[in-house]
Structure 1
Amino acid sequence: MTLFERPILAIETSCDETSAAVVVGRRVLSNAVASQIALHGKWGGVVPEAAARAHVEALLPTIQAGLGDAGVKLEDVAAIAVTNRPGLVGALSVGVTAAKAIAFSLEVPLIGVHHLEGHLLSVLALPDELPMPHACLIVSGGHTELVSVRGLGDYEIVGETRDDAAGEAFDKGARLLGLGYPGGFAIQEAAKAGDPKRYSLPKGLVGDTIDFSFSGLKTAVLRLVEREGDRLNVADAAASLQETIVSVLTERAMRAVRRLDSRALTLVGGVAANLALRSRLAAACEKEGVGFLTPPLSLCTDNAAMIGLAASYRLARGERNGTDLESLPTAELP
């Protein structure tokens, strides 16, 4: 595995986290993150215009923090990496504009990175060998996909949600149960005191599929809340919701591992921070006799370190972007 072994300054502003990191090869020297959770919590979800304004305010001090934490001076940076797709276009533009300006002023290479490839390769931060081929489960607020990873830059989506992402089901469920934002962590905490078998909730698609569907689950939680009223046990409902989502994700992921004859499964994305999911998949992979890799919690939610890791191999291949690099709200995996 050939990587770019000089300091990369990476920037991430695709949604509601402002982040800057310094990466050298597979080594993450720093990963500064300015969260917007408190800002968007007032509305129960991300407001694009507010997110973009918050990125403008936070980006410079976050870059300074990333460089300072790494002990690297700006003039020692050898390349700039930035998330340029997909995401909220206003938010993306903040990071892309800054990255272009820094790369131009330093006269160093600029590389745009696909946000999901960043998640896919966040496991490069681990000391473990990354087996090829392997299956990857990307699960977040906006994405739920199973990807066949044949090599760096060689990906194929083999399973995906047909409607809502798993993270959206967590967020909507948390709102309905009055647990706040972000929903994934709120559900996880409430579920600790609950009975996961108390309420029966639908798992979506049936049959031998590796696709997902969570819209029916969201509706079922709404009906549960309406039906039970004051009798509803919130902890039991949270535990039942978490158990349903974890069960579906594990079942489909292991089915993909067998179908692809994969040597390992990687779990990435914001929902990969869910401890029940991490534990369930680790046990399932051990039983199946395949490897299991998932990044530390700090690299599950959106962050710039994963963008630097993805950029590292692309820069080593000689890939570069010019000052015409665009911010794209939608884009397929490269």
Structure 2
Amino acid sequence: VGDPLAFTYSRPRIPGLNYSFSGLKTSFLYSLRDHLKEDPEFISKNLNSLCASLQFTIVDILMNKLRRAAEQTGIREIGIAGGVAANSALKGALETEASKQGWTVHIPTLAYTMDNAAMIGITGHYKYLRGEFTGQDVAPVARM
């Protein structure tokens, strides 16, 4: 088990309730780069603590935004779904905060928290069987 406080990474200062992990990813990458210059075995020696520290930082970012959202909107019921709902650190932080704040938390059982990859895969399979194809002229559309 890694030490979640072994490494610290910058937290983005994005106003409002939006969040991004771009700065965190860059901070993590630069930290790895710098440590690997000093010790080529750095990752293998510290893998558990690297993962625990990164997870701790991500959960902290999410929980800070969630607290702010609850304060600004007055929501008292919180739900998480999808692959992120399987993360035990996030669930633990959410349950701890819920008991402090008096929130009602909705977290599906582990069997219902899997990623969407299987759903997308089966959808593609059935579209293939029906002959529904998209040409190569399709272009992505950013929604932000």
**Equivalents in 2 of 1:254, 1:266: separation in Å?**
13
Task: After TM superposition, list the pairs within 5 Å mapping 1:1-20 onto structure 2.
Answer: none
- Residue 237 of structure 1 deviates from its aligned partner by 0.9
- Residue 263 of structure 1 deviates from its aligned partner by 2.4
SS of residue in 2 equivalent to 1:258: helix
Residue correspondences, number:
117
Listed as ranges, the gaps of 5+ residues in structure 1 are 1-192, 305-326
- Which gives a bigger RCO, structure 1 or 2 (Cα 8 Å, sep 6+)? 1
- Residue 330 of structure 1 deviates from its aligned partner by 6.6
In structure 2, relative to structure 1, the CA distance for the partners of 1:199 and 1:331 (3 Å cut) is closer
**Equivalents in 1 of 2:6, 2:142: separation in Å?**
41
Amino acid at match of 2:4: P
1:221 aligns with 2:28: yes
**Equivalents in 1 of 2:109, 2:33: separation in Å?**
38
1:268 aligns with 2:75: no
**Equivalents in 2 of 1:276, 1:330: separation in Å?**
33
Preserved contact between residue 9 and residue 57 of structure 2 (Cα < 8 Å): yes
- Residue 294 of structure 1 deviates from its aligned partner by 1.1
Identity of aligned residues (%): 33
In structure 2, relative to structure 1, the CA distance for the partners of 1:296 and 1:330 (3 Å cut) is farther
**Equivalents in 1 of 2:80, 2:7: separation in Å?**
27
Listed as ranges, the gaps of 5+ residues in structure 2 are 120-133, 135-139
- Residue 194 of structure 1 deviates from its aligned partner by 0.9
Preserved contact between residue 205 and residue 211 of structure 1 (Cα < 8 Å): no
**Equivalents in 1 of 2:28, 2:86: separation in Å?**
22
Preserved contact between residue 14 and residue 20 of structure 2 (Cα < 8 Å): no
Q: Calculate the aligned-residue CA RMSD, in Å.
A: 2.4
Higher relative strand content: 1
SS of residue in 2 equivalent to 1:271: helix
Q: Deviations over 1:6-53 (max 9, x none)?
A: xxxxxxxxxxxxxxxxxxxxxxxxxxxxxxxxxxxxxxxxxxxxxxxx
In structure 2, relative to structure 1, the CA distance for the partners of 1:257 and 1:299 (3 Å cut) is same
Q: Which residue of 1 aligns with 2:8?
A: 200
Task: After TM superposition, list the pairs within 5 Å mapping 1:276-291 onto structure 2.
Answer: 276-291=89-104
Q: Which residue of 1 aligns with 2:124?
A: none
